[in-house]
Amino acid sequence: MILAEHLQETCKGKYHVVRELTRGGMSRVFLARDVKLERDVAIKVLSPDLIDPAAIERFRFEVAQAAKLQHPTIIPLIEVGSVLVDQRPVPFYVMPYAPGESVRARLSYGGPFTVTATVRLLRDVFGALEHAHGQGLVHRDIKPENIYLSGSHAILADFGIAKAIADQRGDQVLTRPGETMGTPAYMAAEQLAADPRTDHRADIYSVGVVAYELLAGKLPWGGASPSERLSAQVRGEMQPLAKLRGDVPDELVSTIAKCLSYSAAGRPQTATEALGMLEGVVARPSISVQLPIELRQETERIRAVPAFFQSVIRATAPLAPLWRGMLVAMWVLANIAYAGMRAQDGGSSLARAASFTAGLPGTLVTMAVVTEGGERAYGIALPRR
């Protein structure tokens, strides 16, 4: 009998298993329907290797503690149970199904986030941590896969699961000496080293890694193994974010850098402090030259983006943000010059002004050239990601 059938038999009368959503090395997630409440839920079944069968009850207790968290940006845990597979109890837990997508999925096809979207996400995540840390609970596995986008907000999933797994294995604080629980690429140095004194500041470091990746499209530290990443952290081998994204405000650069401090004492000491550092962050405005007032209404009506313009935008999508912005801007300027020459050749004068607004990817890019007779107009828009 396959796992889905085992799970359906266990949840019979309570949940109807619809299909498998995702699977990984540590878990498999199934979409199910709550029979009584008529709502969709997600059931995550952990790998049998993660849990000692003799400690299932302890695991349930730890998850129950995390389930007490009630916050708008935390996906709550509904219940925990176990399913028998080959006569061995395998734990699962149930949470509301979030129809949005994970940050990992968005990064995979959308590339780096805008500054505005990044700051909004960070505020939501730090808000969730402020609430949880205030109740003595630490996440220990913050990464793009555990952050979901729902409307204009970010919500944090799997709160307390890493700790529950570690604790049921006999780890009083985090893990046994020499063992870690979490995702190495997003773990602070003390967590990578399995330091028993690791606390909530490791979560703040993990958010810093996520923030860097959102803006740069890559992780701050190189290295294929945890030991190589730890070595890079110690040596401070991180490419400055400001060199990768020219549109990131200095305040945000410094906030992320502080979160990524090698020493826990060098990071924001609380999520509340981190939230305060984000208060003054404002996205840098685009470069803008306004049309004369009599032509603004004419320009406003140019909204359509011809298929050829769309192909230019798509062709530049794989490029780094700075290069993409520069190439699009150069292409638009070339069209302005071309339109001017054509207008002069045709005997009609170029419009009294043209507007060009350029921003780095994620901001709005618009261009319009309008001749006095209205016989020629060009428009391009790069919508906010």
Query: Which residues are the active-site residues?
Result: 141
DSSP states along 64-116:
HHHTT---TTBPPP-EEEEEEETTEEEEEEEEE---SEEHHHHHHHH-SPPHH
Tokens of 106: 């968005």
Sheet strands (E) in the chain: 15-23, 27-34, 39-46, 79-85, 88-96, 101-102, 147-150, 153-156, 287-289, 355-358, 366-370, 377-381
Furthest-apart CA atoms within the chain: distance in Å: 88
Residue 241 contacts residue 248 (beta carbons within 8 Å)? yes
Pairing of strands 355-358, 287-289: antiparallel
DSSP states along 206-224:
HHHHHHHHHHHSS-SB--S
- Specify the 3-state DSSP secondary structure of 135: coil
Cα–Cα–Cα angle for 146, 147, 148, rounded to 5 degrees: 115
